[in-house]
Chain A
Amino acid sequence: MIHMNARIVGIGTAAILVLIFFAVVVTPRYTNPMADQPSMNHRARTAIEESGRDLYISLGCQYCHSQYIRRIDWDTGAERIAQAGDYVGEYAPQLGSSRNGPDLSQQGGEHTDDWHAAHFYNPRYTRPESFMPPFSYLTGTELAGITAYLQSLGGHMADQRVARQWQWRGQATAAYEAGADANIEWLHRNVPEGWLRVPNPYPITEASFLRGEVIYQRHCLGCHGPVGDGQGPAVRFIYPPPLNFTTLNRHGIEGGATGGMLYYQIMNGITGTAMPYFKRELESEKIWDVSNYVAKQFIGIVDANTEPRGIDAAFEPVDSAPVQVRGN
């Protein structure tokens, strides 16, 4: 029988612990040159971005937002799988262990600064289902810092996205300031020709209308407002402001289609403005449904199930005469 004594317990186990520490912590540090080599995408941060990072750490953002994209991810930033060299030169990398919100490692350029301003003030303003805390108490300097940090996340790729946001923002602002008609004309001009000729291929049924309503409430209402007048709670932070659907009636394009245009703009977003793209979170049917909802409920131009319709989808009601829906 082995007799244990204080020396074995204290020194013996400590010796094992130190050995294993060297094996599993120190060895990987000195045998993994890739982790000391900045990745192609890595760049150093500016002073204001660093101040934003300090705030990010201090506010505990990492408890809900991770900062590495895995091979199996589909969400924001999924275009780039994280590399060890992305974190070179960072104290306490904020990799995180929990995702109650999206991964932020490629957040830079995903949204405009004004979207972030509205979202920080109250995340529900732009994302009605979010349970992120409101950060309305941040000072202007703090908000600028943390926004700059978020826009820096993603290195060189983020810089390119941010530059693209600013480039389109110039055009979008000029168009808005040129007046309502010029704005709509600019928006139409930037929808690829083919989409302008595609009506919404799916009829509005009561069920699809209700689905469209739910999607509108979960994704659109913060900016475009419950009644589609562009007066959602986020509006006071956003410039150019969200589109007012209710006055678009007079902007129908001769021979053109509303359905395809709405679909394209929802899918792709309007880069440079606070309008994000929704192609990651809404699949095809959901975008068609919410397009029909917006067209019918707010705009008043419905081209659902009009020619050219192509082959009817198998699920469509055979008699696709317009169905009476709520609100009419």
Chain B
Amino acid sequence: MNFLLPNEPGSAARRFFLSSAIWLLVGVIFGLIGAIEMVDPDLFPAHEHLTFGRMRPLHINILVFGFLMTAFFGGFLHVIPAVCRTKLISERLANFAVWFYNAIVVAALATLPFGLTQGREYAELIWGIDIAILAAVAVLIFLVFGTIARRTESLLYVSAWYIGGGLIWTFFVFAVGNVVWQAPHGSWMGIHDQILLWFYGHNVVGLVVTPQAIGLAYYIIPRATRTPIYSHSLSLIGFWMLIVMYTHTGTHHLLQAPVPQWLKVLSIVNSISLIVPVFAFLTNVWLPLKDRFSRVFRDVGAKMVFTGTIWYFIVCLQGPYHSLPSVQRVTHFTQWVIAHSHIALLGFGGFIAMGATYYILPIILKRDLYSRLLADFQYWLMLIGTLGIFLSLTFAGLIQGEAWLMGEVVYRVLPELKIYFVVRGIAGVMVVTGAVLFVINVLLTILRKTPPLPVEGSEAETEVAA
């Protein structure tokens, strides 16, 4: 019982972080296999379970629902009690969530390679797994709001808005996006389904990953740099604009498809408006650092989280830009979009997830990271790797898009892409290597038996809100 569901504070967060690191490694390996297949499709023996069409959804689902979500869960199981100045409502239930949620990711691993899919991008997981994810999210909602209800700190810090709100949005978006009442297809019929699917698909980034990542960044950057955020009003603007704007944007994935024109216009207008909540958040965490920027680099976790916010800046300027119809004439259907999703989920979400792991794990364990050097090395591998994937695929996408627009057929452009896919594969190797270092570092930090550090942790909690 004490091994399965320990009551020790921080045990669930610790286990979520470890699962997250392992799922990162598993997920990027599938990504690398897919990347290699695009360079040399005959390298691996022709095998159903290894085929690109199976690797691609596996790669995405393991990384979004395995790596990112588990890291965020681990992060907020520590952050929510910290900002509420209380204990988690039930450590045992949180530990149950660890096992339950990991079983879900294993189930994804055991279904997607075998072609058990609902055939909807980002919503591939079959009905039973969808329901299990909803149940797991419900448990986490209970843990978060139960803990918030017991808070001794009267001011509810902005991290808690994003994390708590984000979980509720996750529940709703996931349930309707997967059409869970329509088993076993999990889909509407006809073109309507695509409008629903992209409402969901875009909000997997906007309302599932983004709020958790922002919530953690709002905690980690001010705390690590001992600098309060810039403005409470900006937090409010950023938070409310996110829920109002992000939710409208899904149809910008369908600008060239036969869906109602008014919906396309609405999605473009809101995509552009997204710049407001993005800059509200970035101003809030960046501006106070203007005279003390070097403090960011003291902690490798904070450095990664800060890098995640830079990726957020890039990805959220690029996103509104390529939701414009004139830009999409070139970029739609091309590798440009794949480049964009890599900096959103690996650059922004991934760097904050890894940074949160490195920042929070030593606080929970009350001892240093196993190796700061290893973590720094991983940081550069991941950074250059992500940049390599982003740039190579962006170039490939521009070549495709411009060629198609000028009347070139898809087949004729393929030889032009090869070198970019090679570069992407090399960048992928760097990311996989970084993931290996991450697993080693996290695992050894947890397993290592060293005496705890003297302070850091419970009573040293700083007032982060202005």
**Chain A residues packing against B (C-beta within 8 Å):** 1-6, 9-10, 13-14, 16-18, 20-21, 23-25, 28-29, 31-32, 35-36, 57-64, 66, 68, 70-76, 82-84, 86-103, 122-124, 127, 129-137, 218, 280-281
Contact = CB atoms under 8 A, between A and B. Distances in A.
B169 A17 contact: yes
A82 B117 CA distance: 25
Contacts of A20: 244, 247-248
Contacts of B253: 97
Contacts of A88: 189-190
B187 A91 contact: yes
Interface residues on B, range: 35 or more
10 contacts: A6-B145, A17-B247, A24-B250, A31-B260, A71-B256, A99-B333, A130-B41, A131-B38, A131-B40, A281-B409
Given A24-B199, A88-B189, A90-B190, A131 B176 contact: no
Contacts of A281: 409, 411-412
B320 interface: no
Contact of B263 (A5, A14, A24, A89): A24
Contacts of A135: 46, 51
A92 B414 contact: no
B164 A6 contact: yes
A75 to B, nearest CB: 4
B407 interface: yes
Given A24-B251, A74-B409, A63 B52 contact: yes
B411 A124 contact: no
B257 interface: yes
Given A66-B333, A99-B410, A92 B118 contact: yes
The 5 closest A-B pairs by CB, nearest first: A60-B53, A58-B115, A57-B119, A99-B333, A134-B46
Contacts of B247: 16-17, 20-21, 24
Contacts of A63: 52-53, 56-57, 121
B448 interface: no
Given A6-B148, A57-B117, 4 more contacts: A17-B207, A60-B53, A100-B410, A280-B409
A interface majority secondary structure: loop
A89 B193 CA distance: 11
B47 A137 contact: yes
Nearest to A280: B409
B258 A68 contact: yes
B243 interface: yes
Contact of A29 (B54, B173, B195, B248): B195
A31 B343 CA distance: 36
B162 to A, nearest CB: 9
A83 B258 CA distance: 6
A5 B156 contact: yes
Given A9-B165, A68-B258, A92-B185, A28 B121 contact: no
Contacts of A73: 404
A96 B257 CA distance: 11
Contacts of A129: 411, 414-415
Nearest to B122: A97
Given A10-B145, A94-B119, A84 B333 contact: no
Nearest to A21: B176
Contacts of A64: 52-53
A102 B411 contact: yes
Nearest to B119: A57
Interface in B228-284: 232, 236, 240, 243-244, 247-248, 250-251, 253-254, 256-260, 263, 266-267
A75 B410 contact: yes
B159 to A, nearest CB: 11
Interface string B392-422: 0000000010001101111110110000000
Nearest to A68: B257
